[in-house]
Amino acid sequence: MKVIIQYQDNLDVSLHKTLKITLPKSWKNGPTSKLLKQFVESYNGNEAIGPRNPLKEEDLHLEVVPDENSMTDASPVALASDATTIDVIPDRATLAVKHGKAPTIAELNKVEEEKKSKMREEKAAEKALSRCTHFGCQKRFPKGGPYPPCAYHKLPPVFHETAKFWSCCPNKKAYDWDDFQSIPGCLTGTCTDEKVDTTKQFLGGSDLREAAGEKSKLRSIDDFNKEMEGGGSGGNVLDDLGGVLGKIGVEKELFEQVIQGIKTSLGEGATDAMVEKELGKKLKSTFKSFAVEQLRIS
């Protein structure tokens, strides 16, 4: 069994030291403190660094340095001074010598038990609380109340490919979970623990396609002609415009962001007709500026 022991717990790199040790068989079943003692004796016996930075075994402890190639995100943990070497140190491991008294097995067990006890208490406290059943509200409160105020969404979330959004707020899309969680609710009220009257807690691509199929039901010729006479295209103006702009390289997400910005500036209750009118003004202004610039250049 071989190990590498390193001391780098000092800003002065000239005081660092690395020691490679092949452990005798008798050491494998002995305490880890024996390795630390061997390192300290070797370090203090070095005339170049020992006198400048004498180490004391009782003020130090060992840690196993995580393997860089390991798939686990392990953090260094202080080894108990009375732990059996072969039980806590892998073959060819790298050990770090750190300042701070080494714990004993009993002390580490006590810390672990305190962590477990705290987790049990937190779980027990959590069971005594209810979670708000409104979509998008994560608040917890005592069972039976009092019920705190909350902001929530009217309809369930939609997870379609990489996009995440609430079906009641389709123009507020997110592609990161934290961004999705931060989308503000469209309704305000009081938290509740009553089950939401819905068959689905979230929607997917199949639900969107099904909804799109219902919306695309055939209209009468008279209805279609009326829309065309009114200057329509037989469909939603904003959807049509977004599709056309997409064909000339304007990303859908950018278009939706502009539409949402206009809705926000118009305030609550803004209709599609109001958004279309405001967008038309902005596009007209942009085209005019572009035309003037062309005339100036020519």
pLDDT for position 6: 93
Q: What global pTM score does this model have?
A: 0.45
Per-residue confidence (pLDDT) for residue 38, from 0 to 100? 92
**Res 223: pLDDT:** 58
Q: pLDDT tens digits, residue range 51-105?
A: 999 999 999 999 998 877 665 556 777 899 999 999 999 999 999 999 999 999 9
- pLDDT reading at 209 higher than 50: yes
The band of 216, judged by pLDDT with boundaries at 50, 70 and 90, is very low
What is residue 208's predicted lDDT score, i.e. its pLDDT?
60
Closest Cα to residue 152, out of 171, 165, 133? 133
- Residue 57 has a pLDDT of 93
Q: Determine the distance from the C-alpha atom of residue 6 to the mean position of all C-alpha atoms in its chain, rounded to a whole number.
A: 35
Q: What does each C-alpha distance from 1 to 27, 35, 78, 87, 141 come to in angstroms?
A: 10, 12, 20, 12, 55
Omega of the bond leading into 146 within 30 degrees of 0 (cis): yes
pLDDT at 234: 47
The counts of H helices and E strands in the chain are 10, 11
Q: What residues contact 43, with CB distance under 8 A and at least 6 apart?
A: 7, 17, 19, 49, 50, 55
Other CB atoms within 10 A of residue 166 CB: 24
Q: What is the pLDDT of residues 98-144, one digit of tens each?
A: 999 999 999 989 988 999 999 988 888 878 888 898 998 889 998 88
For residue 210, the model assigns a pLDDT of: 65
Residue 186 CA to residue 43 CA, distance in Å, equals 66
Joined together, the tokens standing for residue 277 give 């009118």
Q: Residue 255's pLDDT is what?
A: 84
